[in-house]
Amino acid sequence: MTAEAHSAQTGFDRTLAFTVPDRDARGRVVRLGPVLDDILAAHAYPAPVRHLLAEALTLTALLGSLLKDDEGQLTMQTQTQTGIVDLLVCDHRAGELRGYARFDRARLDELGPKPDLSALFGEGYLAVTFDRATTEQRYQGIVPLEGDSLAQACESYFVQSEQVPTIIRLGVSSEGARCIAGGILIQHLPDGEEGRERIHAQFDHPHWEHVAALGGSVREQELVDPALGLEDLVWRLFHEEREVRVEQRSAIVKGCRCTAEYYRSVLARFGPDDREEMKNEDGLIMVDCAFCSRSFPIDLV
């Protein structure tokens, strides 16, 4: 590969969209690096939760890239009453990615170094919400947190809520404070990126079976290997196809919408008595942002 070709490869913190026109398939592939480190550094997550949140952020980046509305938002959230991880929420909007996990440290320490999904969540649900800014429409699907991974739960979402054959593969690699996560999502959509009515998407369609077999062969190490460009990864999987179209999407950045001005606007919706009860002894209302681990002293005077 020439130096020019190598420099053109999609690297960290950017999504690559691709289509295989002859197979009625579309896909997304992403590799998170510095952005992932920034988000995870907001809290001292233990290794199992750090790994789980890295997977969730990668999934959110993949699903968020499916939105055609640049100002739309994708939110992924777990719902569980008995889980050790009782809250996991990530969202993606206009290239901004953020996420947070809340967990019971004492119960987590009893599980050992590599707890499975059911041990972390117990009986719970995964909610995936697409908000489209231009049409002000909201689509939400809720599926059980079943299977061996969040990726399998997301595949169930597309099957049950959108009737779209989908495969998702994820990989996470951690070395000290550095974390790399990668993922690929492939779907069967007749007529390509836009697709026809979902009834035309068949799980036993020969095109889909072919693409799913190729895409499913990707290895975790390939997804997190910084020396393997995302274009090269797609080429490695589909190089025998007549045509594969790729498109780099905008960069992904750590995004948190926490500002003093924003919280003032939220607190202004409460009545005077409610706001008075929120004040501390200095007359300030302290607002904590779980996403970025910052505190905001708000003076409404």
Instruction: Look at residue 5 in the predicted model and tell me its pLDDT.
Output: 39
Q: How much is the pLDDT for 185?
A: 97
Query: What is the distance, to the nearest Å, from the Cα of residue 128 to the centroid of all Cα atoms in its chain?
Result: 10
Give the single-character DSSP code of 252.
Answer: P
CB proximity list for 276: less than 8 A, separation 6 or greater? none
Task: Note down pLDDT in tens along the chain; length 301 residues.
Answer: 333 333 457 779 999 999 999 999 999 999 999 999 999 999 999 999 999 999 999 999 999 999 887 778 999 999 888 889 999 999 999 899 999 999 999 999 888 778 889 899 988 999 999 988 767 788 889 999 988 899 999 999 998 888 889 999 999 998 877 899 999 999 987 565 555 555 455 667 888 999 999 999 999 999 999 999 999 999 999 999 999 999 998 899 998 777 778 778 888 888 888 888 888 888 888 887 778 777 778 887 6
pLDDT of residue 287: 84
* pTM (two decimals): 0.86
**What's residue 203's pLDDT?**
67
Q: Which domains does the chain have, with CATH numbers?
A: 3-254 (3.55.30.10), 260-298 (no CATH)
* Under 8 Å between Cβ of 127 and 77: yes
Helix ranges, 132-271 (H) = 150-157, 206-215, 220-224, 230-238, 260-267
What is the structure's pLDDT at 190?
Answer: 59
**How far is CA 8 from each of CA 4, 51, 203, 231, 241, rounded to the nearest angstrom?**
6, 29, 35, 9, 22
Residue pointed to by tokens 């002293």: 297
pLDDT score at 301: 66
Q: Where are the beta strands (DSSP E) in the chain?
A: 14-20, 25-32, 73-80, 85-93, 96-103, 124-132, 137-144, 166-175, 178-188, 245-251, 253-254, 285-289, 294-298
Do residues 262 and 255 make contact, with C-beta atoms less than 8 angstroms apart? no
